[in-house]
Structure 1
Amino acid sequence: MSLEEDARTYHRDAPPGKIEISTTKSTSTQRDLSLAYSPGVAAPCLDIADDAERAYEYTAKGNLVGVVSNGSAVLGLGDIGGQASKPVMEGKGVLFKRFADIDVFDIELDVDDPEEFVRTVSAMGPTFGGINLEDISAPECFEIENRLREEMSIPVFHDDQHGTAIISGAALLNALDIVDKDLESVRVAFAGAGAAATATARFYRSLGVRPENIVMCDIDGILTTERESKGELDEHHHEFVRDVPEGGLADAIAGADVLVGLSAGGIVSQEMVRSMADNPIIFAMANPDPEIGYEEAKAARDDTVIMATGRSDYPNQVNNVLGFPFIFRGALDVRATEINEEMKVAAAEALGELAREDVPDAVVKAYGDQSLQFGPEYLIPKPLDTRVLFEVSSAVAKAAMESGVAREAVELDSYREYLEGRVGKSLEMMRVVLNKAQNEPKRVVLAEGDDEKTIRAAVRMESEGIAKPLLVGDRERIESVVIERGLDYEPRIVDPSADVLEAYADRLYRRRRRKGITRREAAALVRTDPNYLASVMVDAGDADAMLTGLTHDYGSALRPPLQVIGTDDDADYVAGVYLLAFPDRVVFCADVTVNQDPNADVLAEIALHTADLARRFNVEPRVAFLSYSNFGSVDNDGTRKPRAAARTLRDEHAVDFPVDGEMQADTAVVEDILDGTYGFSELDEPANVLIFPNLEAGNIGYKLLQRLGGAEAIGPMLVGMDKPVHVLQRGDEVKDIVNLAGVAVVDAQEQ
């Protein structure tokens, strides 16, 4: 089936379209409905009537954007009218929601007259927190945006103009840095003089390009004073008119450092590229066919040609989705009255800076494991990089506050945490731990220190002040990875093949000599098994915590620290715990990695340690021991075990948190079942610490919750060790390593 037919099916399948409206409050009882509508709704209405700003407090206005179009200039389709543009506008709403959690009403107007368009949209001001204008033809789009910005006290943003300008501006900043040219001296030629081209040229001036160094061409040639005097140009071109001889695109391009194409496919030749200055920068952004093909431009010259297009199948795609969701997010969150030039520049600079940072593994995987490292073929981040939300929205909010257009102030550190919470509950939970870790970073030894992921994770730990990483591994390999990846990092390395390790061998020998290990074997182990070396370093106090497991199976990674470090004084067993984060709650699942068939005492001990772990995440534990039985409904050895574990915690340990069991999983987590059927339970709210009866149930349970329930997982986290040790899963990403390092640091702080 063709792409066109796939798209028709995609949009036609029930329910038709791509968006729906859902409620955000409970509507399950008559009282709920009375609060949502009549008579209760009168109270907030009266408050808003007294103070219009309270609409942001009582309604969704502050997170609602109107995507408005008349369909007069739909990308690649032309003037197809408002009705036909609706699939595009719905799609725009999908992008707002997907990337920045912003709600959208798409508004398609059957209006051609700019005056009527402005009057209609302006009258919608009470509904929205911002207006995104889309696919409106030039020159009417200039008048419409300018008038609406004047008449409305909310952000109005024509993405076709400013989106391309901001994203390509970020690419320009980085491209110039790579070829060692500065903004004030570069000559820029524009192929195209429409809405996007004029907005981009204006924005480049805001970044620092000198006006006299910009030459713009439309289909008839260079915009010159001679052509203006003949009445060939409209008022929006006046600022780009140059007092130069008339000429065509080839004349404009000759000698230029930068070519910006926002016109039509195939109009730039290799000869034109060869006429440009050394190491030219070419942004050929016509879609679907660029002004010159990627391979064609690269092959035109022998020096560096930095190339960007609007296509996703080539490097450096200038994609507006890198801009508008995050710009609006920052603007809405400070209730900005407009999106001004300072906010646009801040967005471009934030995008440029982010492209210079190490790219998360999840982003690399999402783009087919292609190399994503700052350079000529990676100038700007990818849209699926969640960090764009944090960096760009924060920069925009900051610029809005500093430029005086924000009606609300945000504290930028806490604002970033708020944004992380919008992306996912797991980021919000990890921020609690990472903030604690940053208060007092500890030494974390990384047993697989010469693995590339581990090295990149160590860079993040160090740069973010989470931990002081110690890398166990081959010094030459570690240093070569740092150089190859362009990392600004001086690693602390323990090289088993070169460093003096006799004291560690002696310590391991003393620990294990009555377990069958000779002095020679101990020396060999610290040289050849990084897990033994890292374990002894922690045991000796030369490191505060340990991470391993990235390249080992779980059992072989866990064995050395168990043998050398052992369990805590008040623990006989260790257990593996996963934090599962859902949109509205978190649960801790234990034991899911270590103990195959724990007895009641072991289950009670696991629950104690897991409750302590929950408190490190600022979660007050409510413990449920799970079974297929509810409070004695089945009586056998299997159901007595969790029942006895719950009794042990209550009676012998006198814990200061609620605990109950045995109970079925739905009883533990569904409030209506707890209150309605089992009101006698010690749990007055659903459990957030789930203790499984055995390893088989625990491992199956947490994986089903993660995969089918859509939970985000943090872990596995080991509890019960004498000193902090955590065993990663094979294939974990850099963020997983950093997260567990943060947990280990907090463990070490408490010890």
Structure 2
Amino acid sequence: MGLDEDALDYHRADPPGKLEISTTKPTNTQRDLSLAYSPGVAAPCRAIDEDPAEAYTYTTKGNMVGVVSNGTAVLGLGDIGAQASKPVMEGKGVLFKRFADIDVFDIELDENDPAEFADSVARMEPTFGGINLEDIKAPECIEIEEYLREEMDIPVFHDDQHGTAIISGAALLNACEIAGKDLEEIEVTFAGAGAAATATARFYDSLGVKKENITMCDIDGIITEDRAAENDPHEYAAPFAADVPEGSLADAMEDADVFVGLSVGGIVDEDMVRSMADEPIILAMANPEPEIGYEQAKAARDDTVIMATGRSDYPNQVNNVLGFPFIFRGALDVRATEINEAMKVAAAEALADLAKRDVPDAVVKAYGDQPLQFGPEYIIPKPLDPRVLFDLSGAVAEAAMETGVAREELDLEEYREELEARLGKSREMMRVVLNKAQSDPKRLVLAEGDDPKMIRAAYQLVEQEIARPVLIGDKRAIWEQAADLGLDFDPEIVDPTSDELDPYADRLHELRKRNGVTRREAQGLVHDGNYLASVMVEMGDADAMLTGLTNHYPTALRPPLQVVGTADDSDYAAGVYMLTFKNRVVFVADATVNQAPDADVLEEVATHTADLARQFNVDPRVALLSYSDFGTVDNEGTRKPREAARRLRENADIDFPVDGEMQADTAVVEEMLTGDYDFSDLDDPANVLVFPNLEASNIAYKLLQRLGGAEAIGPMLVGMDKPVHVLQRGDEVKDIVNLASVAVVDAQTDEE
């Protein structure tokens, strides 16, 4: 089946199309409906009548964008009309929601007269917080946008013009840096003089490219001052008319530093590329076929050709989805009256800066594990990089406030956290711990410090001021890997093969001599990163440790258990996962350590897990789980959680609600707790779930993660004498950073 048929199947599958309206408030009772509509809806109507700005308080206006088109210039399809353009506009709505959590109504207007079209859009201002114009032919699209920006008091943005300008502008900034070219000195040749090309040329001028260094070509060749005097190009291309003789695109490209293609495919050949200046930059953005193919351009010269296209199957895709969702997000959140030039420049600079940073593993995997590291093949971030949301949107919001077009002032640090929360509950929860960690970073030893993921994590811990990492591993190998990864930092390294380790061997022998470890054996053991890290933590030379990235969990856990051991008030360690759902967080214990716990173990695990929940600012409500409710089944298995719950309830030092034994649904469904079991000590659903054994806990958390859509953070080790956490083999860098943050907060708590 071909792509066309696949796409038709995709769109016609029930329900047809790609968008639907969903409610955000309860509609389950008659009272709910009376609040949503008549008579309750009259109250917000009156409030808005008295103060129109209250529409942002009581309606979706502040998060609603109108995607508006007449279908006169649909990418790759041309003038197909308003009705036929609807699948594209729905698709735009999908992208707004997927990448920036912005709601969209797509509006297809059957109107080709620019004045009538613009007037129709202007009348819709009460509905929307912003307008995204789409797929309208030039030069009418420029006229329409200019009129609407004057008439409307909300942001109006024609993505076909400015989106391309901003994304390619970010590419230009980074390409010039890599090639050692000065923006004010470069010569830029444009192929194309339509709306996208003229907007991009104007934007490059805003970035620092001199207008007199821009040569623009249309189908008839170079746009010269003589041609402009004869009104040959349209008025929006005339400002870029060059004081040069008439010539072809080939003439214009000779000695140019940069080629910008916004025209048609196949119009540039290898000779034209060879005629360009040293280290040329080629932004060939015609779709679906670029002005010159990627392989052709690269093969044309022996020096470095930095190239971007509009295609996803080559490096450096200029993809507008990197811009419009996040630009509107920032503009909407400050209630901007417009999207001005400063906001666009801020967006481009934020994208350029992001491309220079270490790329998350999840993004690398999403793009087929291809290397993504700042350089000629990576000058633009990928759309699936979640950091684009809070970097770009934050930059846009800040620029709006600085230039006086924002009607709301935001605390940018708080705003960044709000944006992170839009990416999922787990990010919101981790932000609590990250903020605590950053308030007082601790010395953290990474046992497998020569692993590339550990090195990248160490770099992020330093960059974000979360911890002071110590890498255990071969110094030369770590330095070389850091350089290969493009990480500019000087980590502290302890080399187990060359550093003086006698004090650690002495201490290890002292701790383990009654367990059969000789002094000679201790000398050998400290060359093992896990044992060395454990002794460093035990002796106080490090505040916390991480291990387990390259070992099985039991193997990685054994050394810290032997050396660090459990806390004075603890006999057992346990592994806890935090599972985050859209509107709920639960802690699952014990999923990694104790296979068949008795009541003593369950009691201790419940207490430690409740303490862990508080590190995330969660008030714990603990349920001891089983397959029976409050004695409905009485056997050895159900007695253990029942007894643990009884002891906890009777313990005067326990300051959290706890009950059990109970079935899992009883623990988490409010109606069941307040119905048949209204006698329970839990007034609200439990958020700490203590399972009767490791098998049940491990199965449950994995089912909730895979089928229930939960995000899992952990396992977090509780009950240890010093902060020790064991990663899962194959964890990503973000998992290491998250667990490192938890370890730092553990160390802060121990210090207090």
Q: Does 1:53 align with 2:53?
A: yes
Q: Does 1:285 align with 2:298?
A: no
2:125 aligns with 125
1:451 aligns with 451
Aligned-partner Cα distance in 2 for 1:139–1:23: 40
> Per the alignment, in what secondary structure is the counterpart of residue 444 of structure 1?
strand
Number of aligned residue pairs: 750
How is 1:310-389 mapped onto 2 (pairs within 5 angstroms)?
A: 310-389=310-389
> Per the alignment, in what secondary structure is the counterpart of residue 580 of structure 1?
strand
Aligned-partner Cα distance in 2 for 1:199–1:127: 28
Q: Does 1:510 align with 2:510?
A: yes
1:653 Cα deviation (Å)? 4.6
Deviation digits for residues 668-721 of structure 1, max 9, x if unmatched? 111122223322211111111011010000000000111111111110000000
Question: Which is further off, 664-673 or 557-566?
Answer: 664-673
1:621 aligns with 620
How is 1:187-202 mapped onto 2 (pairs within 5 angstroms)?
A: 187-202=187-202
> Per the alignment, in what secondary structure is the counterpart of residue 121 of structure 2?
helix
Contact residue 62 and residue 129 of structure 2 kept, 8 A: yes
1:242 Cα deviation (Å)? 1.7
How is 1:222-261 mapped onto 2 (pairs within 5 angstroms)?
A: 222-261=222-261
1:654 Cα deviation (Å)? 4.4
> Per the alignment, in what secondary structure is the counterpart of residue 236 of structure 2?
helix
Q: Does 1:537 align with 2:517?
A: no
1:285 Cα deviation (Å)? 0.3
How is 1:133-282 mapped onto 2 (pairs within 5 angstroms)?
A: 133-282=133-282
1:10 aligns with 10
Stretches of structure 1 lacking an aligned partner (at least 5 in a row): none
Question: Which is further off, 648-657 or 363-372?
Answer: 648-657
Q: Does 1:391 align with 2:394?
A: no
Aligned-partner Cα distance in 1 for 2:126–2:474: 63
Aligned-partner Cα distance in 2 for 1:82–1:665: 53
Deviation digits for residues 345-389 of structure 1, max 9, x if unmatched? 000000000000011111111100100000000001000000011
1:564 aligns with 563
Aligned-partner Cα distance in 2 for 1:641–1:35: 48
Aligned-partner Cα distance in 2 for 1:549–1:564: 16
1:663 aligns with 662
2:526 aligns with 526
1:644 aligns with 643
Deviation digits for residues 41-65 of structure 1, max 9, x if unmatched? 1111100100011111111110110
- Counterpart amino acid of residue 584 in structure 1: N
- Counterpart amino acid of residue 674 in structure 1: L
Q: Does 1:610 align with 2:598?
A: no
Aligned-partner Cα distance in 1 for 2:563–2:306: 54
Aligned-partner Cα distance in 1 for 2:567–2:692: 22
Deviation digits for residues 588-621 of structure 1, max 9, x if unmatched? 0000111001011210110000000000000000
- Counterpart amino acid of residue 485 in structure 2: R
Deviation digits for residues 543-597 of structure 1, max 9, x if unmatched? 0001000000000100000000100011100000000011101100000111001
Aligned-partner Cα distance in 2 for 1:681–1:61: 43
1:719 aligns with 718
2:549 aligns with 550
2:731 aligns with 732
Aligned-partner Cα distance in 1 for 2:280–2:392: 28
- Counterpart amino acid of residue 733 in structure 1: E
Deviation digits for residues 463-514 of structure 1, max 9, x if unmatched? 1110000000011110101111121110100001000000100000000000
Aligned-partner Cα distance in 1 for 2:98–2:596: 43
2:631 aligns with 632
Please provide the CA RMSD for this pair.
0.8
1:652 Cα deviation (Å)? 2.6
How is 1:430-469 mapped onto 2 (pairs within 5 angstroms)?
A: 430-469=430-469
Aligned-partner Cα distance in 2 for 1:591–1:408: 46
Contact residue 576 and residue 588 of structure 2 kept, 8 A: yes
Q: Does 1:481 align with 2:476?
A: no
Deviation digits for residues 232-277 of structure 1, max 9, x if unmatched? 2221122111222111111111111000000000000111111111
Contact residue 538 and residue 545 of structure 1 kept, 8 A: yes
- Counterpart amino acid of residue 369 in structure 1: D
Question: Which is further off, 575-584 or 639-648?
Answer: 639-648
Aligned-partner Cα distance in 1 for 2:228–2:347: 34
Contact residue 194 and residue 237 of structure 2 kept, 8 A: no
1:168 Cα deviation (Å)? 0.3
How is 1:22-37 mapped onto 2 (pairs within 5 angstroms)?
A: 22-37=22-37
- Counterpart amino acid of residue 447 in structure 1: A
- Counterpart amino acid of residue 713 in structure 1: A
1:631 Cα deviation (Å)? 1.6
- Counterpart amino acid of residue 268 in structure 1: V
Q: Does 1:680 align with 2:674?
A: no
Aligned-partner Cα distance in 2 for 1:337–1:263: 32
> Per the alignment, in what secondary structure is the counterpart of residue 283 of structure 2?
strand
1:655 Cα deviation (Å)? 1.5
Aligned-partner Cα distance in 2 for 1:209–1:653: 72
- Counterpart amino acid of residue 637 in structure 2: G
Contact residue 601 and residue 648 of structure 1 kept, 8 A: no
Normalising by structure 1, we get a TM-score of 0.99
Aligned-partner Cα distance in 2 for 1:133–1:455: 45
Aligned-partner Cα distance in 2 for 1:571–1:279: 64
1:585 aligns with 584
Normalising by structure 2, we get a TM-score of 0.99
Aligned-partner Cα distance in 1 for 2:598–2:45: 59
Aligned-partner Cα distance in 1 for 2:521–2:563: 14
2:694 aligns with 695
Aligned-partner Cα distance in 2 for 1:672–1:708: 23
> Per the alignment, in what secondary structure is the counterpart of residue 470 of structure 1?
strand
1:160 Cα deviation (Å)? 0.1
Aligned-partner Cα distance in 1 for 2:412–2:577: 30
- Counterpart amino acid of residue 183 in structure 1: L
Percent of pairs with identical residues:
75
Aligned-partner Cα distance in 2 for 1:109–1:678: 58
Aligned-partner Cα distance in 1 for 2:168–2:352: 10
1:104 aligns with 104
Contact residue 342 and residue 399 of structure 2 kept, 8 A: yes
Deviation digits for residues 195-227 of structure 1, max 9, x if unmatched? 110000000000000010001011111111222
Aligned-partner Cα distance in 2 for 1:482–1:681: 55
Aligned-partner Cα distance in 2 for 1:395–1:654: 48
